[in-house]
């Protein structure tokens, strides 16, 4: 049997059509790489970008601004090594106007300048498709305007009313050409609600600029720090409620209504959210301190309303309180009866004078005439809130009490000098015994 010849043959290899096709392709690629990297190293291209009007904006030093910055596209022609040009984009080139000719207001035809963002980049700018741009400049003015809310078509339900509508923010700052800013007389937020309402509303609306004739300004080149605002449309429920008066410094067992207080106004008209107003049955006109009371006096009070509640416009906000004290008189007495309450076990209190003079009492004349000096008691509260010393003398406030009468009371503030001694040893012994 004849053995098969397996020796490699170049002749057969090159005779293969498939091999020659692959070899030709490889040789073509190698030749192309050689040409672009060795023979043709230079390349050119065009990069499209927009004119940057804010780059090198030296015109702002003159108090000027550009009116309606146009959008201008420019093709920038570049040349350099192929490997560099192939990686360029619009981020690598900036095109901007040359503002050196600008010296005031007006329209200018400005040359365009193109430059590399990174000056170290290895390529050249050879030209541009657009070499100039026309720009208009004007003096810049900034002014702050209060925002006026113009609410129309609001229909409060019966028993409700529309309070003053407010915008948030309440002001807007406008910037633009002096001529345009000077045309603006008012800035308004227009709100229109048509349905009947029992609740407040919050509406977001755009701002409108009006001239002195009330005409809308739409052609102004103006920028604003806010272009829309939140407008609160307050729909408040009205309610008339009785006025009352409260007292402080009232002796134990004494009813101030015996003085028959009479208010100059018996009711007050208030307004607020229905959920809050519905729960209010009366409003206190304020506090009257009986410790400063004098016969025949009147007391003027300013009504303070709860948060979220307000007076209806032109409603009562102040009242005068008078008293019917017919038959009441004033009497000055000296008190010799003292009662010490809330005294700790380890404290000793003595009163050197055992008398308190010039105590003023007010009450029905007949009762005061029959009142004995022993019926008036100066009560001393020896709790820690009133006693500051542990040994020595202290003026301690006293409260005047008339146990036998619920119609007589004392006015004024009183104090008595006391000798005080606190025995800390006794306190410690007592605590040890308890433990």
pLDDT tens-digit series, residues 161-187: 999 999 999 999 998 888 899 999 999
The rounded mean pLDDT for the chain is 88
Question: What is residue 389's DSSP assignment?
Answer: -
Residue 288, pLDDT > 80, answer yes
pLDDT the model gives residue 67: 82
CATH code of residue 114: 2.170.120
Mean predicted confidence (pLDDT) in 203-216: 95
Residues 300 and 382 in one domain: no
Report which of residues 313 and 248 the model is more confident about. 248
Which residue(s) pair with 425 in the sheet? none
CATH code of residue 266: 2.170.120.40
Which residue(s) pair with 231 in the sheet? 167, 203
pLDDT the model gives residue 5: 52
Domain boundary among 323, 352, 369: 323
pLDDT the model gives residue 38: 53
Integer CA distances (angstroms), 185 to 74, 167, 188, 210, 411, in order? 41, 18, 10, 6, 62
| Burial of 372: CB neighbours in 10 Å, binned 0-12, 13-18, 19+ | exposed
Could you tell me if residue 88 is inside a domain? Answer: yes
Which residue(s) pair with 393 in the sheet? 419
Q: What does the radius of gyration of the chain's CA atoms come to, in whole angstroms?
A: 48
Please spell the DSSP secondary structure of 99-130, one letter per residue.
Answer: GGG--SSEEEEEEEEEEESSTTSSEEEEEES-
Q: What is the pLDDT of residues 94-107, one digit of tens each?
A: 999 999 999 988 89
Residues 260 and 301 in one domain: yes
Residues 221 and 279 in one domain: no
Could you tell me if residue 80 is inside a domain? Answer: yes
Domain boundary among 258, 293, 323: 323
Residues 145 and 125 in one domain: no
Residue 121, pLDDT > 60, answer yes
- Phi first, then psi, for residue 191 (nearest 5°) are -130, 135
pLDDT the model gives residue 8: 56
Could you tell me if residue 362 is inside a domain? Answer: yes
Q: Which domain holds residue 24?
A: 13-39
Question: What is residue 51's DSSP assignment?
Answer: B
In sequence order, the 6+-apart residues with CB closer than 8 A to the CB of 94 are 49, 52, 55, 114, 115, 117
Residue 112, pLDDT > 90, answer yes
Q: What is the pTM of this model?
A: 0.61
Q: How confident is the model at residue 1 (pLDDT cuts 50, 70, 90)?
A: very low
Domains contained in the chain, number? 5
Residue 349, pLDDT > 90, answer yes
Residue 281, pLDDT > 80, answer yes
Which of 373, 342, 331 is CA-nearest to residue 355? 373
Mean predicted confidence (pLDDT) in 307-321: 87
Lowest-confidence segment of 6-10, 108-112, 244-248 by average pLDDT: 6-10
Distance CA 389, CA 382 (A): 11
Residues 340 and 420 in one domain: yes
Q: How confident is the model at residue 61 (pLDDT cuts 50, 70, 90)?
A: confident
Distance CA 401, CA 368 (A): 14
Q: Both ends of the chain: CA-CA distance in Å? A: 125
Q: How confident is the model at residue 424 (pLDDT cuts 50, 70, 90)?
A: confident
Q: What is the pLDDT of residues 26-48, one digit of tens each?
A: 878 877 766 666 545 778 899 99
Distance CA 277, CA 17 (A): 101
Distance CA 133, CA 245 (A): 78
Sign of CA dihedral 194, 197, 203, 207: positive
Q: How confident is the model at residue 319 (pLDDT cuts 50, 70, 90)?
A: very high
User: What tokens appear for 184 in the block?
Assistant: 């603006």
Residue 240, pLDDT > 60, answer yes
Could you tell me if residue 6 is inside a domain? Answer: no
Residues 304 and 336 in one domain: no
Residues 293 and 305 in one domain: yes
Residues 111 and 195 in one domain: no
Residues 332 and 405 in one domain: yes
Could you tell me if residue 3 is inside a domain? Answer: no
Domain boundary among 212, 233, 254: 233
Could you tell me if residue 112 is inside a domain? Answer: yes
Q: What is the pLDDT of residues 360-419, one digit of tens each?
A: 999 999 999 999 888 999 999 999 889 999 999 999 999 999 998 999 999 999 999 999
Whether 410 and 332 have beta carbons less than 8 Å apart is answered as: no
Q: How confident is the model at residue 2 (pLDDT cuts 50, 70, 90)?
A: very low
CATH code of residue 404: 2.170.120.30
- Assess whether the previous peptide bond of 55 is cis (omega < 30° from 0): no
């Amino acid at each position: 049997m004849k053995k098969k010849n397996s020796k490699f043959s170049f002749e057969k290899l090159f005779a293969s059509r498939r091999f020659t096709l692959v070899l030709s392709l490889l040789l073509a690629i190698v030749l192309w790489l050689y040409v672009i990297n060795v023979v043709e190293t230079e390349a050119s291209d065009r990069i499209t970008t927009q004119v940057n009007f804010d780059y090198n904006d030296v015109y702002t030093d003159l108090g000027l601004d550009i009116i309606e910055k146009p959008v201008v596209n420019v093709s920038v022609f570049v040349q350099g090594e192929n490997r560099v040009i192939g990686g360029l984009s619009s981020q690598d080139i900036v095109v901007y106007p040359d503002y050196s000719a600008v010296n005031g207001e007006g329209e200018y035809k400005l040359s365009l300048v193109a430059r590399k963002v990174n000056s170290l980049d290895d390529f050249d700018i050879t030209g541009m498709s657009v070499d100039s741009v026309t720009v208009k400049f004007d003096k810049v003015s900034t002014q702050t305007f209060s925002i006026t809310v113009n609410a129309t078509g609001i229909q409060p339900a019966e028993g409700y009313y529309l309070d003053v509508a407010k915008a948030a923010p309440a002001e807007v700052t406008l910037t633009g050409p002096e001529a345009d800013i000077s045309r603006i007389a008012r800035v308004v937020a227009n709100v229109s609600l048509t349905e009947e309402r029992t609740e407040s509303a919050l509406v977001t609306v755009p701002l409108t600029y009006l001239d002195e004739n009330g005409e809308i300004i739409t052609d102004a080149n103006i920028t604003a720090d806010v272009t829309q605002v939140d407008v609160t449309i307050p729909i408040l429920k009205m309610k008339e409620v009785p006025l009352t008066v409260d007292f402080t410094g009232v002796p134990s067992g004494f009813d101030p209504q015996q003085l028959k207080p009479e208010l100059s106004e018996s009711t007050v008209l208030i307004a607020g959210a229905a959920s809050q107003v519905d729960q209010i049955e009366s409003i206190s006109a304020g506090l009257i301190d009986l410790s400063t009371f004098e016969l025949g006096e009147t007391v003027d009070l300013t009504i303070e309303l709860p948060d979220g509640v307000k007076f209806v416009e032109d409603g009562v906000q102040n009242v005068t309180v008078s008293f019917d004290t017919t038959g009441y008189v004033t009497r000055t007495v000296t008190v010799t009866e003292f009662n010490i309450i809330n005294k700790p076990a380890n404290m000793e209190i003595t009163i050197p004078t055992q008398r308190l003079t010039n105590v003023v009492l007010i009450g029905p004349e007949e009762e005061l005439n029959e009142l004995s000096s022993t019926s008036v008691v100066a009560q001393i509260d020896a709790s820690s809130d009133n006693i500051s010393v542990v040994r020595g003398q202290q003026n301690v406030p006293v409260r005047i009490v008339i146990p036998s009468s619920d119609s007589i009371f004392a006015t004024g503030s009183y104090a008595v000098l006391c000798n005080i001694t606190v025995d800390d040893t006794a306190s410690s012994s007592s605590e040890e015994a308890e433990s």
